[in-house]
Structure 1
Amino acid sequence: MRIIAFDVRPDERAEFARQTAREGVDELVCRDEPLTAENAELVSGFDAVLTQGMVGYDANLLALLAGHGMRVLVTRTIGTDHIDLAAAERLGISVSNTSYAPDSVADFTLMLMLVALRKYKQMVYRQNVNDFSLPGLMGRTLSSLTVGVVGTGRIGRAVARRLRGFGARVIGYDPVPRDEFRELGDYVSLDELFSAADVITFHAPSTPDNFHMVRDETLARMRDGVVLVNTARASLMDVSTLITGIESGKIGALAMDVFEGEDEIYHAFRMHDIIANRDMAYLRQFPNTVLTQHVAFYTQQAVDEMVSHAVDAALRLA
């Protein structure tokens, strides 16, 4: 089998090199640039194409790639919301995502939770100007709080297991309840979770039903001073609602690893550029918001697993 991978980062290359020795892999070409309409002809002659998640593959681009012979597309991400799956099916393109152990995102989620609850951002800012005073820095302990987990898949359950270790009361919502979660917390309706939780962490996929789960009317049902953590998908939250919630104090703290409009910003060197995302800049400046650049997944273990599982999928589908 001949495989070509696009958008290959330096941290992936060691695992890609290891994958070249796998049985069934005749050739594995790695390219630094993303796969776009401008270089679509590069897929010609390959049995499978591996991509990342920073390019949107709509019907037009997929049709162009299919015209160059692409029949298998594997994204080295868990999410597939950047790919028009219906168009791919019509064009005869098999699509797969990849997976990795939930520990990387679960650990990062707990870190964001603690950073928000213990007001770490404010502490760092003060220390940088030799302000070592205490007023305004009093935090809260997880053991005194109810934490709502929206989405109880592998990552949501891994977060719940960690929360139990901190002594928090855990409640969860998922349209498909899982017995494994019942050992960690109690299932409630989404409305009950929104109204009962002091901290809400989101681990749901991006779907039409989940679009802007956090919006004006749902935020109104939450507790005053609620802490929101999102290491899942940016589309789960309406940014205008978040801004209003921070300004009014309804949201006590906000920690997000994803952001609407992050494409071509996150994972890129933009130090000398004008960033045309006003909402991102505005939210970042609040003392009780923490924005990270879509790095919850980013551990060596997860990177290696995403590469190896992508090759697994290519071998299976081609």
Structure 2
Amino acid sequence: MKLAMFSSQPYDRRFFEEARVARSDAVEIHYHETTLNAETAVLAQGCAAVCVFVNDVLDAATLEVLDGLGVKALLLRCAGFNNVDLATAARYGMFAARVPAYSPEAVAEHALAMIQTLNRHTHRAWARVREGNFALEGLLGMTLHGKTVGIVGTGKIGLATARILKGFGCRVLGHDPYPSPAFAPLGTQVPLAQLLAESDIVSLHCPLTDETRHMINAATLAAMKPGAMLVNTSRGGLIDTVAVIAALKSRQLGALAIDVYEQESALFFHDHSGDIIDDDLFGRLVTFPNVLITGHQGFFTIEALREIASITFDNLDCFRRGGVCANLLPAL
């Protein structure tokens, strides 16, 4: 059978071909760098399945085109599925499955790296030393030991983050509408208002849903401990960017670390170093010395990419054989 992979990068080809060869799988993969949407869906002509990533658009219009082409399987090589119209997919009888958890430690470790980069200013120190400047003024940080960290979302990635921060000697608070019993040894589950008011660092580990979209807004930012750090390695839409910029300007928000961005689909995963970036909100964010942005690389480890490829092939096997698939997305 043939599979069309959208938003593919050289590393996708490397790890998917590695997995395909290891399994002696006869699937023929067509790799496309372009993002999937209603206009580009025609590239799936002749394919029974598509493989997509976080910024591909699988709305009703796209699914209509895919259905007309005979595509019957949607394979997400990510955990989030906010970009998929599941009701329409179900109406067309499409198989849709995701990779629910791939090396949660990878994202947790990246969140910690961003926290410590901003806190201890290692990115600024690196630049200074290269210029022969060894002055410490402006590089003052805080000791994480004894600080309070709020984990919003205590799923697998939130738990992995909590374990790391507990190891640093932090007091860990958690908030999740569906609390995990595994969080109990790591910290204390509290209402969101208490977590925001008491945390020196707030780290987001939530899926993007109608309920969580812009959960960080003017009101919740005002409820945060003044000068706290906000970290988001989940989905850009959790944060109202305009409100965050206002909070940074007023000094209510002390620092911001984001690996995701609300309008990232037009920017991330591509080289724009020779382009004029006309996103004014993004342009404003990068002017703050207390803002650290990375381009959705929290998942980007060898182990995670191997796991993504492996589980995606498992899901494809379920589709081809008609077996029970543990990663099947619910029909809404």
Question: Normalised by the shorter chain, which TM-score bucket?
Answer: over 0.9
Q: TM-score, normalised by structure 2?
A: 0.90
1:53-92 CA distances to partner (integer Å, 9 max, x unpaired)? 2221110111110111111101111111122122211222
Give 1:46's aligned residue: 47
1:130-177 CA distances to partner (integer Å, 9 max, x unpaired)? 443223321101113100000000000000110111000001001111
Give 2:297's aligned residue: 295
Read off the aligned partner of 2:212 and give its amino acid letter.
N
Structural mapping, 1:265-284, within 5 Å: 265-284=267-286
Structural mapping, 1:67-82, within 5 Å: 67-82=68-83
**1:10 maps onto 2:23 in alignment:** no
Which secondary structure state, in structure 1, belongs to the residue aligned with residue 195 of structure 2? helix
Q: CA deviation at 1:243?
A: 0.6
Q: Would the aligned equivalents of 1:119 and 1:288 in 2 still touch at CA under 8 Å? A: no
Q: Take 2:280 and 2:130, find their aligned partners in 1: how far apart are those partners?
A: 26
Q: Take 2:269 and 2:129, find their aligned partners in 1: how far apart are those partners?
A: 28
2:240 to 238, 241, 257: 238
CA RMSD of aligned residues (A): 1.8
Relative to 1, partners in 2 of residues 1:28 and 1:20: Cα closer, same or farther, differing over 3 Å?
farther
Give 1:31's aligned residue: 31
Give 2:134's aligned residue: 132
Which secondary structure state, in structure 1, belongs to the residue aligned with residue 50 of structure 2? strand
Q: Would the aligned equivalents of 2:75 and 2:97 in 1 still touch at CA under 8 Å? A: yes
Q: Take 2:291 and 2:50, find their aligned partners in 1: how far apart are those partners?
A: 38
Q: Would the aligned equivalents of 1:24 and 1:315 in 2 still touch at CA under 8 Å? A: no
- For structure 2, the 5+ residue unaligned runs are 321-332
Q: Would the aligned equivalents of 1:74 and 1:310 in 2 still touch at CA under 8 Å? A: yes
**1:83 maps onto 2:84 in alignment:** yes
Give 2:188's aligned residue: 186
Q: Take 1:283 and 1:41, find their aligned partners in 2: how far apart are those partners?
A: 36
Q: Would the aligned equivalents of 2:4 and 2:30 in 1 still touch at CA under 8 Å? A: yes
Q: Take 1:273 and 1:45, find their aligned partners in 2: how far apart are those partners?
A: 35
Q: Take 1:247 and 1:128, find their aligned partners in 2: how far apart are those partners?
A: 30
Relative to 1, partners in 2 of residues 1:278 and 1:129: Cα closer, same or farther, differing over 3 Å?
farther
Read off the aligned partner of 1:77 and give its amino acid letter.
C
Which secondary structure state, in structure 2, belongs to the residue aligned with residue 162 of structure 1? helix
Relative to 1, partners in 2 of residues 1:270 and 1:186: Cα closer, same or farther, differing over 3 Å?
same
Q: Take 1:223 and 1:42, find their aligned partners in 2: how far apart are those partners?
A: 49
Q: Report the more deviating stretch, 267-276 or 192-201.
A: 267-276
Q: CA deviation at 1:238?
A: 0.6
Give 1:160's aligned residue: 162
Q: Take 1:255 and 1:39, find their aligned partners in 2: how far apart are those partners?
A: 33
Q: CA deviation at 1:14?
A: 3.0
Q: CA deviation at 1:128?
A: 5.1
Q: CA deviation at 1:273?
A: 1.2
Give 2:325's aligned residue: none
Q: Would the aligned equivalents of 1:8 and 1:32 in 2 still touch at CA under 8 Å? A: yes
1:179-223 CA distances to partner (integer Å, 9 max, x unpaired)? 111011110011110111110000000011111111111111111
Q: Take 1:127 and 1:246, find their aligned partners in 2: how far apart are those partners?
A: 28
1:272-313 CA distances to partner (integer Å, 9 max, x unpaired)? 111121111111111111011111111111112111111111
Read off the aligned partner of 1:53 and give its amino acid letter.
V
Which secondary structure state, in structure 2, belongs to the residue aligned with residue 210 of structure 1? coil
Relative to 1, partners in 2 of residues 1:273 and 1:232: Cα closer, same or farther, differing over 3 Å?
same
Read off the aligned partner of 1:120 and give its amino acid letter.
T
Q: Take 1:262 and 1:19, find their aligned partners in 2: how far apart are those partners?
A: 29
Read off the aligned partner of 2:165 and give its amino acid letter.
L
Q: Report the more deviating stretch, 297-306 or 27-36.
A: 27-36
Q: Would the aligned equivalents of 1:5 and 1:28 in 2 still touch at CA under 8 Å? A: no
Give 1:316's aligned residue: 318
Q: Take 2:265 and 2:141, find their aligned partners in 1: how far apart are those partners?
A: 34
Read off the aligned partner of 1:92 and give its amino acid letter.
G
1:247 to 239, 246, 249: 249
